[in-house]
Amino acid sequence: MPPGLKRFLVSVTTSLATLCAASALAAEPLTGVYRGEVYSQPNTVNAYSTWLGYDVKMGQGHQAKDSWGNIENPGWQLGAWRSWVKAKPGRRLNYSVAMFPSGQGTLASCAAGAYDQRFKNLASNLVAYELQGTILRPGWEFSGNWMPWYSGNGQQANFAGCFRRIVTAMRTAQPNAGFEFDWNPNYDIASADLSATYPGDAYVDYIGLDMYDQGWNGAYPIPAGCTGSCALTRWQSVWNSQFGPALTKFKSFAQSHGKRLSVPEWGVNDAATQGGGDDTYYVQQMLAFIFDPANNVGYHSYFDLQAADGHHQLSNVDNNGGNTFVTEFPNAAAVFKNHYAGLTQSQVTTTKATVSPATVTRGQTFNVTGSVTSSTARTVVVKYEIRNASTTALVAERSYAAQAFTAGQTRAYSSAFVIPTSLGAGTYRVDTLVFTADWSQTLLYRNDTTFTAN
């Protein structure tokens, strides 16, 4: 969120990702978008993909900050997100999580463990809605004084402690859910506060920054009639004084902790809210930074919305999921779309896994068979997991690392498993997952094979 503004929205494997983050440069960053809360119009995310000409596989949602019920079990959000995520393999939710409702909690109480059970409940409800693998942003934009969990005024240590409690509670409740956690201040956080509020490497998967095109050095808003080189000079002035140094600061901090960066929220801004308007330079520079492998950005999410506190929308997506909206930033929109026109989006598909024999006897070997096809040449990790269909508890797993595919190649896999006799009879399932070679991104996740174990 832009500094000084308040936004109130309506009232795979975590350990492997953490270990591997520092071992290799980023794969292509995952592209996401915020198109409003999808409980009302989930198809607006799909319409955004249509406009972009690129299959956007991450949608973003934000929790309301009005009640514990909307933090622990916001079914009105999670149900809609489940439908969107499960409709197509490889999709993920990026979810902003409130640390406590406005006026109904404190960072000190959170750090002392007073809210642990509430976040255990959230973890279990996310799994109940089949939203494993969600990227979570607890206490997003915590360095902004518009947030209830503002980390200033001597609350830095309490914020770090609260973040640790939330991550620990959610991992304890659902240790196999594959949640990832993004520690996400605003871009203008002071360097001293970066260290003072950081909860520790064991609790962080991404280091994120939100950064909107608002200028505070006198260059914005751009006067009427200031176009061409006049506007470019002002755009460059703001970038060089604010955004460029911030990105360098975050890159260095993330590298020092062996973490991937993220840009969970970014966007152009209208002049009425101290923005640079149709700022092609900002969009060019942001995309260049995000897609430069040396910067190790894991994902980014554009805030494609005409919000009450600032206009950002580039796409032509209307509120009904159609493509009739006319943006006030046509040149920035063209730069954004042209970048994606130059990308080749790799598609990975799998067959539905089969189990043989169809009915499994506990304590005896059974086989899981499937195949993976990649539309482009790439190296991936293929993984099969056996889980209890009711509790989603992990029973067994088998990974195939460094699987090199040529363009269009299909590779078959067969894995032997045993369900121990110590586990109960009942319904189990096979999850098929495909990751990038460094485990940093989930390319595909499906869980449509169930079987009975006697």
Identity of residue 30: L
Residues 350/403, Cβ–Cβ less than 8 Å: no
Cα(431)–Cα(444) distance, integer angstroms: 10
CB contact at 8 A, 255 and 249: no
Element (H, E) at 204: none
| Active-site residue flag, 72 | no
Distance CA 122, CA 15 (A): 20
**Burial class, 336, CB count within 10 angstroms (exposed 0-12 / middle 13-18 / buried 19+):** buried
Q: How many residues would you count in the chain?
A: 454
- Please confirm, yes or no, whether 385 is among the known catalytic residues: no
Q: Give the DSSP H/E element, type plus range, for residue 244.
A: helix 244-256
H helices within 53-143, ranges in order? 69-72, 75-86, 107-111, 116-128
Phi-psi region of 15 (alpha: psi -120 to 50; beta: other; left: phi over 0): alpha
Catalytic residue selected from 37, 72, 265, 385: 265
Residue 291's nearest CA partner among 24, 26, 20 is 26
User: How many whole angstroms from its chain centre is CA 289?
Assistant: 18
- Do 277 and 222 contact (CB within 8 A), yes or no? yes
**Distance from C-alpha of 140 to C-alpha of 147, rounded to nearest angstrom:** 8
List 72, 141, 180, 385, catalytic entry: 141
- The residue among 317, 315, 220, 217 whose CA lies nearest residue 270 is 220
3-state secondary structure of 201: helix
Q: Which residues are catalytic?
A: 141, 265
